Amino acid sequence: MNVTKTTIQNPILKGFNPDPSIIRVENDYYIATSTFEWFPGVQIHHSRDLVNWQLITRPLNRRTQLDMLGVPDSCGVWAPCLSYHEGVYYLVFSNVKSFDGVWKDTPNYLVTTQDIRGDWSEPIFLNASGFDGSLFHDDDGRKWYTSMLMDHRKGKFFGGIILQEYDPQAERLVGEVHYIFEGTELGCTEGPHIYKKDGYYYLLLAEGGTEYNHAMTIARAREITGPYALHPQNPLVTSKNNPNLELQKAGHGDLVQTQNGDWYGVFLVGRPLTTRGRCITGRETAIQKFTWDKGEWITLAQGGNEPEAEVDAPNLPSHPFEPEPVREDFEADVLNIHFQSLRLPISAEWASLQKRSGFLRLYGRESLASFHYQSLLARRVQHAHIEASTCVEFAPDTFQQMAGLVCYYNTSHYYYLYLSGDEAHQKYLNIIACDKFNTTELLETLVDVSNIERVYLKAVIQQADLQFYYAIEENNWIKIGGILDASILSDDYIQYHDGRYRPAFTGAFVGICCQDLTGNKKHADFDWFDYQEII
């Protein structure tokens, strides 16, 4: 039997894949992660060996399932919980509508399917009293929904963990709401998951906030409604006491047992560019091996409570996937799965692979500041050193029409190398930087490309340095503008940049976009898009 290599390299899901929820169905493992304002909603990765992972689907792919029109940055899909019971996959998720201020609007839903790669059901509303909902299937046939509770009174915010029964026939929560856990001194108690083992109900939690004090804690009780006693060696996993660890921000996770009886846990981490610095790859997913003997508390297999970058792999058959191609040439009938849009589905109305064979045509819509109708397609930045490039044909009639290559975090933080026009019908290249809501055109002298049909654009990110390039002949790259600070495309920069907290939970993206602020939907044609790690 061909067995996996002996170690797993963390993170297993690189680049903006937070809040992991893991299940095993026979020999297959699946992880669901948060997608926030990016559409389709919820990433699901697949593995058979816990070493190699492949993105296979995003189940929330219709507006009837997920309507995010107008949601603010870093709202939308939070903390999905994936579970499986008697041939049915269950997915619980929040569609957060607002979070910046005392009021938090967080409706929670459930969708189901019998084919994880197929269509999922229309959503069932659960409640809106908190977020990070989770569904537990007890061995007596009852189903229980648990989540954190929001309490706006006197700035408290976190009101503890609640539990309520879910009736699958009535498709709603029923019965008493049980208040089962108030949290620990770490605070910010969220992300609950329940497990049943050896006569105990175990409650796994995220605490400490999703930054450098983040942690996973665990408690247990004889009854599902409690009372829950804390693990005597909490927190179960954390990086908060060691700023030198490669994997920081460890917390918000889930547990799974292999078919051989081993226990593993997945949880979010960050890889800062400097000690406790900025993480442009966002919050990612890592894995650790655990020891969980009968009747005993679960512990990290290597001892202690700190995550390690290299982990012992389970004794399972190796199952690698084909390497991802560097280039998306837009020859297929569907887009590469790594592309996502903002807030709304990708449709032929604004992104067409059919209008011109071998090209992706984007019809210009609203600005990069819009929470509504953007024509932007992008993929995660998953590595500290990357190169992304594209070839675009665009004939703007006015300065209000733009198209090009964007390095994007949210509507107020991005860098944009773009083509546009002017009143004299000239076509030029420029760079826009948006930082802390301030938008600046960076080039004092515009690059005239009036007589050039095809223009090549490239972004190179090396740690915190971003350099743009352009070419009028393929691969004859010319620097444009100076070195820019890519680290502003991070949670860490945005959350506290003006003296107060702002929601920022995603990661850096790189992609292509087109705007037409006249409302006439001027189009741009993109021939290909490349993304590759620089070794």
Query: In sequence order, what DSSP letters do the residues of 73-99 get, joined into one string?
Result: TT-EEEEEEEEEETTEEEEEEEEE-B-
Give the Cα separation of 244 and 231 in Å (integer). 26
Whether the Cβ atoms of residue 245 and residue 307 lie closer than 8 Å to each other: yes
pLDDT exceeds cutoff 80 at 281: yes
Report helix, strand and coil shares of the chain as percent, to nearest 5.
0, 50, 50
207 Cβ neighbours under 8 A, 6+ residues apart: 183, 184, 186, 187, 188, 189, 190, 214, 215, 216, 217, 235, 251
pLDDT at 5: 53
User: Which two three-digit tokens encode residue 19?
Assistant: 């809040």
* Residue in this structure with the two tokens 């619980």, named with its chain if needed: 92
Q: How confident is the model at residue 334 (pLDDT cuts 50, 70, 90)?
A: very high
Residue 4 has pLDDT above 50, yes or no: no
β-sheet bridge partners, residue 145: 135, 164
Nearest of 116, 123, 121, 132 to residue 47 by alpha carbon = 116
pLDDT for position 425 = 86
Phi-psi region of 530 (alpha: psi -120 to 50; beta: other; left: phi over 0): beta
94 is written with which tokens? Answer: 């929040």
CA-CA-CA-CA torsion sign (477, 481, 487, 491): negative
408-458 pLDDT, tens digit per residue, is: 999 999 999 999 999 888 999 999 999 998 999 999 999 999 999 999 999
Domain 327-533: which CATH number of 2.60.120.200, 3.30.1360.20, 2.40.50.140, 3.90.320.10: 2.60.120.200
Is the distance from CB of 145 to CB of 173 less than 8 angstroms?
Answer: yes
Which are the contacts of 242, defined by CB distance < 8 A and separation ≥ 6?
Answer: 306
Q: Could you count the other beta carbons within 10 Å of the beta carbon of residue 245?
A: 19
Domain 7-312 falls under CATH 2.115.10.20 = yes
Same fold, 7-312 and 327-533: no
User: Is 340 a residue whose pLDDT tops 60?
Assistant: yes
Q: What is the Cα–Cα distance from 137 to 139, expressed in whole angstroms? A: 7
Q: What is the pTM of this model?
A: 0.97
Q: Where are the domains of the chain?
A: 7-312, 327-533
Catalytic residue annotation:
19, 190
* 218 pLDDT above the threshold of 50: yes
Taking only the tens place, the pLDDT of each residue in 102-143 is: 888 999 999 999 999 999 999 999 999 999 999 999 999 999
pLDDT, mean of residues 64-82? 98
CA angle 509, 510, 513 (to 5 degrees): 115
> Residue 404 belongs to what H/E stretch?
strand 401-410
Q: How many CB atoms lie within 10 A of CB 498?
A: 9
Please report the pLDDT score of residue 1 as a whole number.
Answer: 47
Q: What is the pLDDT of residues 476-496, one digit of tens each?
A: 999 999 999 999 999 999 997
| Res 498 pLDDT > 80 | no
- CA nearest neighbour of 39 among 22, 23, 63, 13: 63
Residue 231 φ/ψ region, left for φ over 0, alpha for ψ in the -120 to 50 degree band, beta for the rest: beta
Q: Please tell me the predicted confidence (pLDDT) of residue 424.
A: 86
The strand pair at 38-39 and 427-435 is best described as unpaired
Residue 423 pLDDT: 86
3-state SS, residue 240: coil
State mean pLDDT over 233-248: 97
Sign of the Cα pseudo-torsion (48, 50, 54, 55, in order): positive
Instruction: Determine the average pLDDT of the residues in 384-391.
Output: 98
Question: Above pLDDT 90, what percent of the chain?
Answer: 93
Structure tokens at 37: 């304002």
pLDDT at position 497 is 66
| Helices marked H in 388-501 | 491-494
Segment 25-35 shows an average pLDDT of 98
Identify the bridge partners of residue 488 per DSSP, sorted by sequence position: none
**Whole-number Å distance between alpha carbons of 414 and 312:** 39
**Average pLDDT, integer, range 371-377:** 98
Choose among 186, 205, 97: nearest CA to 503: 97
Mean pLDDT of 241-246: 98
What is the spatial distance between Cα 210 and Cα 186, in angstroms, rounded to a whole number? Answer: 12
